[in-house]
Each structure stands twice: as structure tokens, then as C-alpha cells.
Amino acid sequence: MSSSLLPDCFEALASLPEHQKTYSKCLKYGTAGFRDLADELPLDAVFFRMGVLAAARSRVLGGKVMGVMITASHNPEPDNGVKMIEPNGGMLVTDWEELCEKVANAEDVATFRALIEKTLEGSTCKAGVVFVGCDTRSSSRRLLRCVCRGVAACGGYCENWGELTTPALHHIVRQANGLGHEVSLASKEGFVRMFSEGFRRVTAGVSTDSQLSRGPVLVDAAGGVGFEMVEKVAETMSDTLAIEPRNGPATPGLILNHECGAEYVQKGRCPPKGSFSATADAGHRIASLDGDADRLVYSYWDVDMKWHLLDGDKIAALLAEFIQAQL
């Protein structure tokens, strides 16, 4: 019998074969959410349940927009993961991480349902709102559909943003809740606009000619979703800063995060492969992202073909030096 807290479709959707818990592993929700091999567990049931819980969280918060990002970031391509985004654009609050674990590890539909109904007790909002996005992994689109069905099972509205970077979805969720600059920036284009305008303001004291004369910044997109976003930023900022995106999802022979991207470059202390070479790229700045573009390291080959890594500490020091020079 249907509960007044959940729509009639909950039981039917939760009982679909692909939404059944078939794994015995106890899943833990960490800073990166849930991550594991996408097809070996499989993860479909986890993603469906997180869709339900995200919609429940939205309802508890009076209908504020929640976000769900499907990515395993810098992990190998066979992995995937899911993490929630709070209405303020931040990470899921700590006390809900424990609830995520209880929901993901619930042994059957009845236990899962009881957890959701208990969560919704006292909530007067009947429909949550969830924005969902994913990276370029082969499993991401399938798992995105699981999240969307989960949102529907909790009576929520799911807005599918398709492939986009993790920072972009955090931005969109925050702006959509009226907590950022303006609601009109709650889009991929709005993210690019905010990013580009921010760069122009910060570098207002630097002549455009001096920036362009240094040649392009070469961006290693790790074969990930950041490639498309970098293309848009490059187009918007072409009169101020030359940017050349490389190592996109369509680069021949390239595998996501394999011998490229921020994790490979930083941990391996070696330059990215794929579309890069010391002979052709000496003297250029190289910015390496990870698969969902929420990590960044810089590197370069000097004129003697010696490679140098600029990790987070060095980037922070250079930024501080730049700010001091502008004061």
C-alpha cells in the first residue's frame, strides 16, 4: 500500500531488477561520495537510492535544489561514483553522510523504504528538485538514468544537465538557489561567464598584449568532461588569454586519466602524454585537469627540455606573489 509520504510509483521503481542490491560489500560515503568499479558490483542500485535520497533531502529543505554528480574524478575509467551537492554549492552535510551509508547498504526494499519515510517525517514539501550531471565515463549515462528514476520515485523533479564538470554543477546548484551572484548564471554558460569575468577583473592591471605574447596555455583535459568547458572558456577569453585545450575524449588512443591528467602528472612526477611532447611544447605553460576538472596542476618544459611541476603549493605561492604585485 502506498504511503502518503511517497508516490505510488516508488514500489514499482524500487522493485525493478536493476535497482536491487546485489553487492555484499559495505559501502562508505566519504569526501568523494561513493566510488567503486561501476559494472562489477554493479552500482545501479546505489545510484537509484541516492536519487531517492537527494529528492528527500530537497523536500526536507523545503524544495531547495540539490545536486547529484556522477563521476569518479581522477580514478581509472572503469570506476564511477556519486556524490551529493548541498543547496549552497558545498558538500553534503556530515550527518547525512551516515544516512547515505544506511540507505546504500539497506538489504531490501522494505528497509530502504522505511529509512526514506522516516527521513521525510514532518516534511510538508511534496516535491523535491534535483539537478544531476555526469562525466564522460562509459557507465555514466546509464547510472545517470538510475539517479533520475530515483528522484521520480520520491516524487521529485530531476533536471538532467548531461555531461559537465563537477565545479560547474556545484556552481549551477548554488546559483539556482539564489545564493550566488544571480539566478541567471545557473547554467553552463553562466559558469563560463562568471569564470571569464572573474579572470578579467583579477588581471585588470596586466596588459592584454603581455598575456597574449606569452603564447597559449595548453590544457590537458585528461580525456574528460573538462575539454568541452575549456573550449568554451577559450572562445570567451580569446581576446585576453590564449588557451588551447588538448587530450579531449575524442583524442585517438587516449583513455580517461590514463597517462594524462592532474593525478597522473602530480603523483607520477612526469609530463602528460597524449597530445603533448617536449619538442613541440617547450616553453609553454601546461595546465592538467582531472577527469571531472576539479583538480589542477601546472607544468612546463624549459628551453633545455627539462620538465618542471608546479603543484598546489607552488601555484598558491605564485598567486600570492601576483596579488602582492597588484596591490
DSSP category for residue 80: E
Write down the catalytic residue from 3, 24, 73, 213. Answer: 73
73 carries an active-site annotation? yes
**Spatial contact of 125 and 154, defined as CB atoms under 8 Å apart:** no
Q: Distance of CA 291 to CAs 135, 220, 222, 235, 288, Å? A: 7, 10, 6, 21, 10
- C-alpha torsion sign, points 264, 269, 274, 280: positive
Cα–Cα nearest to 120, from 76, 155, 85: 155
DSSP label at residue 308: E
* Interatomic CA distance for residues 222 and 294, integer angstroms: 12
| Residue 36, φ and ψ in degrees, nearest 5 | -170, 180
Bridge partner list, 300:
308
Measured between alpha carbons, how far is 103 from 115 in angstroms, rounded to an integer?
7
Q: How far is Cα 113 from Cα 294, in angstroms, rounded to an integer?
A: 34
Helix axes 44-60, 94-105, angle to 10 degrees: 140
Tell how strand 157-163 and strand 217-220 pair up: unpaired
With 0-12 CB in 10 A as exposed, 13-18 as middle and 19+ as buried, what is 307? middle
Catalytic positions, please?
A: 73
